[in-house]
Amino acid sequence: MSIVVTGATGHLGRHVVEQLLEKVPAEQITAVVRDEAKAADFAARGVRLAVADYNAPETFGSLFASGDKVLLISGNEFDKGRPAQHQVVIDAAKAAGVALLAYTSAPGSLSAALADDHRATEKALLASGLPYTLLRNGWYHENYTEQLAPVLEHNAVVAAAGEGRVSSASRADYAAAAVAVLTGEGHENKTYELGGDEAWSFAEYAAELSRQTGKEIAYNSVPGEVLTGILTGAGLPEMFATILVGVDASIEKGELVVSSGDLSRLAGRPTTPLAEAITAALKG
C-alpha cells in the first residue's frame, strides 16, 4: 500500500510530499512526476518516483496498486482539456482498485469558468464508483504574494473584484488538509469546502502591504475589461487573463468566501494569516 501524489513537484505537490514525510515512512510515498530530475531530492530521501504524464494515458497503466490512496492534484494546462487528463488518472485508479482517490477541486460556490473543469472532474470521479474525497480548495495566498513586484513598482493593488472578500490560505495549509485525508480514516465519499479562517478585501490587502512596506499602496478597483487589457499587456495569454478576470467577478459576488471551517479542522491548526504570507514574501 502506498500513498500516491500526482503533480508531486508542483507548487502544492511539493508541500504535500514534504508533509507526508513527517507522518509516514518515505517508502510508503510514491511521487508521480514528469521529470525525474526535478524530484531528485525526494528520491534521495527514499520516496518512490513514478514517471507519468496526463497526456500519455499508457504511462499511468500500471502505476497504481490495489489499496493505494491517491491524491489527484488538478493539472494546470488549461489549454489541453484538463477533465480528459484527469479522466486518465481516474480510469487507472479504478482499474487498480485503489482505496481512495482525493481530488483538489474548487469551492462549490465558485461559478467562474475556472470551476468548469473541476465540476467535470468531480462528475467523472463520482461516476467511477471509486471511494473519493473532494478537497474543494479555495484561493491561495500565493496567487497574490508571488506577484508583488508590479504592486510594489506601481504602489497599487489592481483588481476587478470591487469590495468582494477572499478566504485565502497558504499552499501549506491546503497541503495539510490533503495529508490529513491521505493518512487518516473516515474520509471516504466526503466533500470538504476549504478556505482560510479570515476573509479579507483588496482594500485590506493594500492596507496591510502599506503597513509592512512603509509605502502608500492603494487599491484600484477597475472594470473587468480594463483588467483583461492590463494582464494581456503584461504578456499573459488572453485565455488565462479571461479566467483570472472571471475569478475577480466571482470574488465580487462573494463566491470565494468559504466559512465552513473545514480547512483548519483538517489541518488541526488555524490557517496562515494573510499578513504572515505577505511578510514571508517580502523577505523572500
Least Cα distance to 181 among 75, 120, 105 occurs for 105
* Mean pLDDT along residues 70-95: 89
Q: Return the half-sphere exposure (C-beta side, CA atoms, 13 A cut-off) of residue 231.
A: 23
* Mean pLDDT along residues 259-282: 97
Q: What is the pLDDT of residues 33-67, one digit of tens each?
A: 999 999 999 999 999 999 999 889 999 988 999 99
| Residues facing residue 141 across a β-bridge | none
- C-beta separation of 131 from 188 below 8 A: yes
Q: What is the pLDDT of residues 100-115, one digit of tens each?
A: 999 999 999 999 988 9
Band the pLDDT of 80: cuts 50, 70, 90: low
Which residue in the block uniquely carries the three cell numbers 499573459?
Answer: 236
Grid cell, residue 24, equals 509516514
| Burial annotation 103-135 (CB, 10 A radius, 16+ → b, else e) | bbbbbbbbebbbbebbebbbebbeeeebebbbb
pLDDT at 78 over 70: no
Domains and CATH numbers, the chain: 3-136+171-194+259-269 (3.40.50.720)
At 93, which helix (H) or strand (E)?
A: helix 82-96
Band the pLDDT of 81: cuts 50, 70, 90: confident
E-strand ranges in the chain read 3-5, 29-33, 48-51, 69-72, 100-105, 132-137, 156-159, 165-166, 190-194, 200-201, 218-221
At residue 45, the 3 state secondary structure works out as coil
pLDDT at 137 over 80: yes
- C-beta separation of 70 from 31 below 8 A: no
Q: What is the pLDDT of residue 284?
A: 77
- The C-alpha atoms of residue 135 and residue 129 are separated, in whole angstroms, by 17
Band the pLDDT of 162: cuts 50, 70, 90: very high
Average pLDDT score over the chain:
95
Least Cα distance to 209 among 156, 134, 264 occurs for 156
- The C-alpha atoms of residue 178 and residue 267 are separated, in whole angstroms, by 8
Band the pLDDT of 1: cuts 50, 70, 90: confident
**What is the chain's alpha carbon radius of gyration, rounded to the nearest angstrom?**
19
Band the pLDDT of 79: cuts 50, 70, 90: low
Global model pTM greater than 0.75: yes
Q: What is the pLDDT of residues 179-232, one digit of tens each?
A: 999 999 999 999 999 999 999 999 999 999 999 999 999 999 999 999 999 999
